[in-house]
Chains A and B, each alone.
Chain A
Amino acid sequence: DIQMTQSPSSVSASVGDRVTITCRASQDIAGWLAWYQQKPGKAPKLLIYAASTLQSGVPSRFSGSGSGTHFTLTISSLQPEDFATYYCQQADSFPRTFGQGTKLEIK
């Protein structure tokens, strides 16, 4: 199975800050990576797929980059509604695997 490792596990930031979350795959997954946002008690929501393609309706302050084994999710200017948990997921092979999550908290 491909292991996905996110860092940091949690981060505190303020509204307006720029935040970057990293996801590393245990083997090359090309660009087959997605990022999801999950708020407490809610279902996850697809933000970015194919490493850098913004899902329809997702604000442009979200961006993704990377390929191979190293990927990043960047939020350029945090808004109050962005405080949530973020997960990366590899879509290269089965079983699909997720990172452990990064909790983004208000400072």
Chain B
Amino acid sequence: QVQLVESGGGVVQPGMSLRLSCAASGFTFSDYGMHWVRQAPGKGLEWVAVIRYERNNKYYRDSVKGRFTISRDNSKNTLYLQMNSLRAEDTAVYYCATTDSRFLLEWGQGTLVTVSS
């Protein structure tokens, strides 16, 4: 069955960097696009970024453009989110999810990122 396991979350100070990983198994990773979605404590879902299966197409929400980079290593079945210049408002649980290009099909359990001084 599909399994997505996020890691790399933690507590960081504002302005610092963090790299999240999402290890995929149970499906042909290279055939699927992948999203990152976040959820601030007690708040709703917020889409962050997507990378298409062929890696060339990437889209970001405006508030993370220029600071976050989504990437993937199909040889390792792993999705990444490099987060630089972190801000307090980036504090959230970050989920990775598979996509059929439109909808978010399967989700990981999430990893918590806390940005605080």
B-chain residues with CB within 8 Å of residue A91 when the two chains form the complex: 102-103
Residue A65 CB within 8 A of the other chain: no
CB distance from A12 to the nearest CB of B (A): 20
Can you list 18 residue pairs at the A/B interface with Cβ under 8 Å? A34-B102, A36-B45, A38-B45, A43-B109, A43-B110, A44-B37, A44-B95, A45-B107, A46-B104, A49-B103, A94-B50, A94-B59, A95-B47, A95-B59, A98-B44, A98-B47, A99-B44, A101-B45
B45 contacts A98, C-beta separation under 8 Å: yes
Interface string of A44-88 (1 = CB under 8 A from B): 111001100001000000000000000000000000000000010
Residue B89 CB within 8 A of the other chain: no
Residue B46 CB within 8 A of the other chain: yes
Out of A42, A50, A101, which one reaches B44, CB within 8 Å?
A: A101
A-chain residues with CB within 8 Å of residue B107 when the two chains form the complex: 43-45
Q: What is the total of A-B residue contacts with beta carbons within 8 Å? A: 55
Out of B47, B59, B102, which one reaches A32, CB within 8 Å?
A: B102
Give Cα distance in the complex from A95 to B102, angstroms.
Answer: 12
CB-CB under 8 A for A43 and B45, given A94-B50, A96-B50: no
B102 contacts A97, C-beta separation under 8 Å: no
A-chain residues with CB within 8 Å of residue B37 when the two chains form the complex: 44
Interface string of B74-117 (1 = CB under 8 A from A): 00000000000000000000010000001111111110000000
CB distance from B101 to the nearest CB of A (A): 9
CB distance from B5 to the nearest CB of A (A): 11
CB distance from A70 to the nearest CB of B (A): 19
B-chain residues with CB within 8 Å of residue A87 when the two chains form the complex: 44-45
